Chains A and B, each alone.
Chain A
Amino acid sequence: MLTMPALDEGAIGDRERIAADLARLVAPASVIAAPAALKAYESDGLTAYRQPPLVAVLPANTAEVAAVLRYCHQRKLKVVPRGSGTSLSGGALPLADGLLVGLGKLNRVLEIDYDNRCAVVQPGVPNLAISHAVADRGFYYAPDPSSQIACSIGGNVAENSGGVHCLKYGLTTNNLLGLEVVLIDGEIMRVGGRHFDAAGYDLMGILTGSEGLLGVVTEVTVRLLKRPPTARALLAGFASNEAAGEAVAAIIAAGIIPAGMEMMDKPAVAAVEDFVHAGYPLDVEALLIVELDGTAAEVDELMGRVQAIAQGKGATSLRVSQSEQERLTFWAGRKAAFPAVGRISPDYYCMDGTIPRSKLPLVLTRMAEMSERFGLKVANVFHAGDGNLHPLILYDANKPGELDTAERFGGEILKLCVEVGGVLTGEHGVGVEKRDLMPAMFSEVDLAQQMRLKCAFDEHQLLNPGKVFPTLRRCAELGAMHVSRGKLPFPDLPRF
């Protein structure tokens, strides 16, 4: 079971006073303290965990965010930032003794600057809304997590979100130009702008993907790309996962970087087809979606080459989208894979490891063995181009012990990812979900180094405590440890 930092009983007892204090810093209607209303915030996309916050506050601008954080800093009150609450790793899971800061009211597109090919937006703007705002000029914002209709750009920054097109166009971190961030003491800091590259230390790089542990993002400047004139997608069915995996490797070895390259195994294809009717072939063991974009002639040429490679690797069916409508239908299936699996199982648990692609057959075989051993079925969707695997473990939370079994199964899968040279999370973040698995990938020294960086930003560890790091150490203690490391003065004394 999940252990969280020691409860601040003082804060819990002081809830009404805290709510009253906050009502002086922001509009009183923006402070939520009634238990029934707080239930709306008790969970994010990782629904296995629920915890209503002490108080929720919805600041309306940067100055209010700064005032709220300054208050928390002075009062040593824990803070959990939240965008749209779509995190799949529990990044926005509230704390019983902490404030939840919702950024949903900061939801305006502030400026679109085509000459600099960027947009300045507030953190609560949904990812897809940025692309919509610039679509009439033929531009878009590239990272496209499957939750893009709902997930906020501020949350994307916190999690360094990816999407199905990030093999070619990068993750969030590769598509940002500037951030405004409020630090825990209320200081407002701007990094980057409309120019390229950091001045000195790349703090934007480190804030991106820091899961709300270093600061609260209040403004984001994103890069805009011109939409390619043509995009077409290929559906290629294979008689085995191995053959599909070989086709993926051969496409990349041929020097082709598709805009997207996705793979689904048989259970995932069946679930999706039943839900979306995307026209996926049901008689295949593995299905690839390969999207190519560029000029019409370029797409035609590359599509020919990709089809030939797929055929050479034994594709049993090939279908190229003949219209924009059809291309979007192919993707609609993939993007609905999680809810589709949700229809065939009372609950599912989504994993997010990345592996070297060549290890795919080994990992799938071992996963099938684990599935037998744990007695739980698994469906796989896979960002095949970049090796990011999303096994969906099917379980029923109403059956005693099944959630626990699913979590143990998931943990084994992620340890396997690390064992074959991969990582615990490719795009969903560590959050609370993978926190306790961090030692499978990082040594104590590795983690202490990361925690010391945390301390440089947030000495009292008030921002999103209990996330990412398996054990919390006081910053002073980390400092003391490193000063004497290798030559501890009293090596026999217990240290904790």
Chain B
Amino acid sequence: MQRIQPESIQDIVDIVRSHAEARRPLAIEGSGSKSGLGRPVEAETLLSVRGLSGITSYQPDELVLTAWSGTPMREIWDALAEKRQHLAFEPAASALYGSGNEAGTLGGVLASNLSGPRRPSAGAARDHFLGFSAVNGLGEEFKAGGKVVKNVTGYDLPKLLAGSMGTLAVLLEVTVKVLPEPEKQRTVIVPVPDVAAGHRCLTAQLCEAFEIDGAAFLPAAVAARSSVDLVRAPGSALVAMRLTGSPVSVADRCAALRAAIGMPSEELHSMRSQALWAEINELAPLLPAEAGALWRLSVPPASGAKIAIALGQGEDWLMDWGGGRLWVARQDPSVDDASLVRKAVATAGGHATLVRAPDTLRRAIDGFPMEAPLALLKRTKAAFDPHGILNPGRMYREL
């Protein structure tokens, strides 16, 4: 595959247009950090947006940042940290989804709708994606959304582009909502005998007004792999609940939460708390790096324990989002096993995404789940990319 990295919008327009006219497929990527996510794209040419890089506008007190899609996440995080702001949806800092050990580009984070442990309280990437300019599959440059935090003018195309994995358009410039970084964080950890007990604890406390913005369960073997001493110390499974905000608020809520739990608990303060949530977000070193197949399940939070019991193998799994997200490593990367995972999730009313697997399995199935009628998805794709040249097959075999 020939990799091209144009440095101007016009070059991108020309490349896409010529490929559209010739009906030749194009693989689209930022830095390639998520190349393992989804189906491998069969194309002779790979178009990288990495050449369009840099923050074009950042106004902290307007809560918006605009940057070229190829801007490295590291550059975005550094600029935000300087103003004590952050991306509240907490995209993972390491390459969970493929090759290389970097966080990738802002465009890649948005195109794959990546979100971290704070998602239930702060929203996903899609909730912070305000506007963009892009090149559609005909080589036409267009824009949608806006550069302000509140906007309902026209269809909310940023929502549709978020998570579309480069199959609808090539992102050029993107605008995201940014927020003040919480001043302080603490994590309450509660050793529990098993996932059922852990899940009961999470559900009970999430139904109270503690404003928990991280709610995970780690099986004993997973907790034992943590770099955080206090997480390893109990030698058992445990529940972790993060509280963030002003120092007074965090201290108050932490005391109230521990009182409400009614079981022995421990507190992780700033550094330890940050280290644990980075591990939960990046999965390293908690889950084995070379598992057969790694799945990301999104299920109703109250169903988390049931699904974990049905699918968790050898304790190579963990639960986040209060039960709403499960990371499950399956030993057997086969099509049959994939069907088994999808069936178990379907009974609870949720979906499963294949995040990491050998190419044979990635080619054999649709890595992404599908909830809408295929015909409608095809028409939606065709509305942006009528010749099907942008990342064909990346999400679904037929798209």
Chain A interfacial positions (CB closer than 8 Å to B): 113-117, 138, 159-160, 162, 166-167, 170-171, 173-174, 183, 187, 189-206, 208-210, 226-229, 249-250, 252-253, 255-257, 294-295, 297-298, 301-302, 354-358, 383, 386-388, 421-430, 434, 438, 441-443, 445-447, 449-450, 452-457, 468, 479, 482-483, 485-486
B115 to nearest A CB, angstroms? 7
B386 to nearest A CB, angstroms? 7
- B6 interface hit (Cβ, 8 Å): no
Known: A198-B163, A205-B156, A226-B207. A191 touches B300 (CB 8 A): no
Known: A295-B252, A356-B62, A430-B154. A449 touches B384 (CB 8 A): yes
Q: Do A198 and B299 touch (CB < 8 A)?
A: no
Assembled-state Cα–Cα distance A146/B203 (Å): 32
- B395 contact set on A, CB distance < 8 A: 200
Q: Do A357 and B376 touch (CB < 8 A)?
A: no
Q: Do B143 and A442 touch (CB < 8 A)?
A: yes
Q: Which chain B residues (226-247) contact chain A, with CB distance < 8 Å? A: 245-246
Chain B, residue nearest A387 (CB): B148
Q: Do B153 and A441 touch (CB < 8 A)?
A: yes
Q: Do A200 and B372 touch (CB < 8 A)?
A: yes
Q: Do B123 and A387 touch (CB < 8 A)?
A: no
A164 to nearest B CB, angstroms? 12
A418 to nearest B CB, angstroms? 9
Q: Do B138 and A482 touch (CB < 8 A)?
A: yes
Assembled-state Cα–Cα distance A302/B182 (Å): 13
Give per-residue flags for B152-171: 1 if the beta carbon is below 8 A from chain A beta carbons, else 0.
11111101101110000000
B251 to nearest A CB, angstroms? 8
Known: A196-B321, A202-B160, A443-B142. A355 touches B148 (CB 8 A): yes
- A357 contact set on B, CB distance < 8 A: 61-62
Q: Do B180 and A356 touch (CB < 8 A)?
A: no
B16 to nearest A CB, angstroms? 11
21 CB contacts below 8 A, A to B, read A195-B300, A197-B298, A199-B298, A200-B163, A200-B369, A200-B396, A201-B377, A203-B371, A203-B372, A250-B61, A255-B84, A297-B252, A298-B249, A354-B150, A426-B152, A428-B152, A446-B142, A449-B384, A456-B376, A456-B383, A485-B138
B161 to nearest A CB, angstroms? 9
Known: A189-B376, A197-B124, A255-B84. A114 touches B207 (CB 8 A): yes
Q: Do A206 and B157 touch (CB < 8 A)?
A: yes
- B349 contact set on A, CB distance < 8 A: 193-195
Q: Do B380 and A201 touch (CB < 8 A)?
A: yes
- B194 interface hit (Cβ, 8 Å): no
- B140 contact set on A, CB distance < 8 A: 445, 449, 482, 485
Which of the residues A159, A226, A301, A387 comes within 8 Å of B152, measured between beta carbons?
A159
- B258 interface hit (Cβ, 8 Å): no
Q: Do B124 and A383 touch (CB < 8 A)?
A: no
A133 to nearest B CB, angstroms? 16
Give per-residue flags for B367-397: 1 if the beta carbon is below 8 A from chain A beta carbons, else 0.
0111111001101101110100000000110
Q: Considering the complex of A and B, which 3 residue pairs feature the smallest CB-CB distances, nearest first?
A: A205-B159, A298-B249, A255-B180
Assembled-state Cα–Cα distance A358/B147 (Å): 13
A403 to nearest B CB, angstroms? 23
Chain A, residue nearest B124 (CB): A197
Assembled-state Cα–Cα distance A257/B245 (Å): 11
- B211 contact set on A, CB distance < 8 A: 228, 294
Q: Do A383 and B150 touch (CB < 8 A)?
A: yes
Q: Do B59 and A206 touch (CB < 8 A)?
A: no
Q: Do A205 and B301 touch (CB < 8 A)?
A: no
- A421 contact set on B, CB distance < 8 A: 147-148
- A425 contact set on B, CB distance < 8 A: 151-153
Give per-residue flags for B199-229: 1 if the beta carbon is below 8 A from chain A beta carbons, else 0.
0000100111101000000000000000000
- B315 interface hit (Cβ, 8 Å): no
Q: Do B123 and A209 touch (CB < 8 A)?
A: no
Q: Do A202 and B119 touch (CB < 8 A)?
A: no
Given contacts A167-B149, A386-B148, 13 further A-B contacts (CB under 8 A): A115-B302, A138-B209, A197-B119, A199-B369, A201-B377, A294-B245, A295-B249, A301-B246, A357-B61, A422-B148, A423-B148, A446-B144, A449-B144
- B25 interface hit (Cβ, 8 Å): no
Which of the residues B124, B146, B350 comes within 8 Å of A193, measured between beta carbons?
B350
